[in-house]
Amino acid sequence: MERRPGAGDHELPERLDLTADCANCSGLCCVALPFARSADFAVDKDAGEPCRNLLDDFRCGIHAGLRERGFAGCTVFDCFGAGQKVSQQTFGGRDWRQDRDVARRMFAVFPVMRHLHEVLWYLDEAIAMPSAEPIRDDLRRTFDDVERLTRGGPGELAEVDVGAVRESANVLLRRASELARAGVPGRKRNRRGADLIGAKLRNADLRGADLRGAYLIAADLRGADLRAADLIGADLRDADLRGADLTGALFLTRPQLASARGDAATRLPAGLDRPAHW
């Protein structure tokens, strides 16, 4: 089992993996989810329709050249380990190609599992924060509750109220963020949900800023100081992070980094790798 990077001394439950393992997934993200022809996808595809690039062994036929072939959106997507969980555990390795009913149920469950695993990713990070000590027991209980949901059968998973799960966890995640950012000296900017599309923020001091859900599409963040900034849900598509300092940024994910632009001078939080296309 590969542990979620940066999880500190928090032990993840047996067999829970929050990192995508495509070799043990039946290509669910390439089948279950829809995408529309755009700058991110070269073609239209309905939910439940296999991508034309999906091979018989569930691998991608153009994986090495996805961006060059017009499928940049595929390089940004991350299931947080939901794909192999649904394929190997929820459905016990069954092949969706052999049974239409299995396929229908599997495709319905996959997005639910993906949401739950993303919540677990955030909770796991919060548990590892030294500043979260006052709420660590609550975080662990919530983590265990969500993890228990992921072990349900297909019928149980289909009935999960994902919105309620996310909102319940978010109360604790907001508190964890407040505790972490309280240790940052100086005045912290509150730009939660702000429209910062194309904003000129080069070399900006955004230490400890609340950027939850902010629209930072194509923002110029070159050289910006984003240490300990809360980036949960922030839209970083095409944001310029060259030379930016993201050390200790809160709740930053691989998909966010993959959707942005950076370089060798961009400083990242521990446990997050530099995207290959930077």
Q: What is the pLDDT of residues 70-80, one digit of tens each?
A: 999 999 999 99
Q: Where in the chain is the domain with CATH 2.160.20.80?
A: 187-278
Report the candidate in 232, 177, 184 with the shortest Cα–Cα distance to residue 206. Answer: 184
Q: Residue 10: its pLDDT value, please? A: 58
The yes-or-no verdict on residue 15 having pLDDT over 70 is no
Q: Cα(142)–Cα(244) distance, rounded to whole angstroms?
A: 33
Query: What is the rounded average pLDDT of the residues 216-228?
Result: 98
99-132 per-position pLDDT tens digit: 999 999 999 999 999 999 999 999 999 999 999 9
User: Percent of the chain scored above 70 by pLDDT?
Assistant: 94
pLDDT at 3: 40
Q: Please tell me the total number of residues recorded for the chain in this structure.
A: 278
Residue 16, pLDDT score: 66
pLDDT tens track for 145-183: 999 999 999 999 999 999 999 999 999 999 999 999 999
Report the CATH fold assignment for 187-278.
Answer: Pectate Lyase C-like (2.160.20)
